Amino acid sequence: MADRLTAALEGYLAHLAVERGLAAHTLAAYRRDLTRYVAHLHARGRTEPAEITERDAEDYVLVLRTGSDGRAVLSPASAARSVVALRGWHRFLALDGLAPTDAAAELRPPAQPRRLPKAIGVDDVARLLDAAGLGDGPVPLRDRALLELVYSTGARISEAVGLDVDDLDLTPDRGAVRLLGKGGKERVVPVGSYAAQAVDAYLVRGRPALAAAGRGTPAIFLNTRGARLSRQSAWAVLRTAAERAGLAADHLSPHTLRHSFATHLLAGGADVRVVQELLGHASVATTQIYTLVTPDTMREVYAASHPRAR
């Protein structure tokens, strides 16, 4: 009788492989997670899918967190993955008529600890930006302009490389850029004077040389073939600049300057709702995580807060 649970599991894994086309390593992870769950069910006397209760599924989450079944205690991330596998199997059992209800329909993964965004100090940012502009020719001009703009506006790397020339206004003291964020949501963000100067220098002395190698594109940031710079290439720009600046490149990511932008604004007294708008966050709760890394009282005004605004 106990084999009916195992048979139901094998049926689900076959469904994932044939109907869903899951990769071999993903299937192996599902098998590992669900085999442990089946052992938990056997220990509770369950022999058929229809016998599994909501309490069985709920108690299993506790098992993952405590290791009370004699197996390894899973990290919150691994436990969450295991719960996703469990929910998928129960949904399959209910839809396939092997169980009267979905016993895991209300089950939620254990809460994962909130991770603080990685940010670097203002002095390190200055070193990074200086390092990006080292050398002669159009590429250093482009690299400095790219990183200055990302730090000045808090843009995602994908937003920055997606910019066209018409998205940018470098009018003195009123510089701004139109960014296209997640879900196609547009926002207009101020551009500080350091970034405006760097971008202007690139547009005048760097971009024309790069554009000459291409077929014409409205993109601001171009590669050496005259085409739009890719996200991967922009990430390489950051990594190279970090290495030149003597910073730990392995600890930097394409989001490092964005996180630093938000953290430094809040440290300078900017209101969290202003930073929310600048970052393009749908909810202020997403932005408030940055307040965990600065003790300063939050106030408004971008120009007075951003270390490179003027």
- Residues recognised as catalytic: 156, 182, 255, 258, 281, 290
Q: Residue 310 to residues 166, 168, 194, 302, 303: CA-CA distances in angstroms?
A: 23, 18, 7, 10, 7
Q: What is the residue whose two structure tokens read 């139901």? A: 8
User: How far apart are alpha carbons 24 and 10 in whole angstroms?
Assistant: 14
- Name which of 108, 107, 109 is nearest 76 in CA terms: 109
Residue 306 in contact with residue 148, Cβ under 8 Å?
no
- Name which of 148, 245, 244, 236 is nearest 191 in CA terms: 148
Q: What are the beta bridge partners of residue 180? A: 186
User: Reduced to 3 states, what is the DSSP secondary structure of residue 178?
Assistant: strand
**Tokens representing 147?**
């990183």
Q: What is the residue whose two structure tokens read 């159009």? A: 138
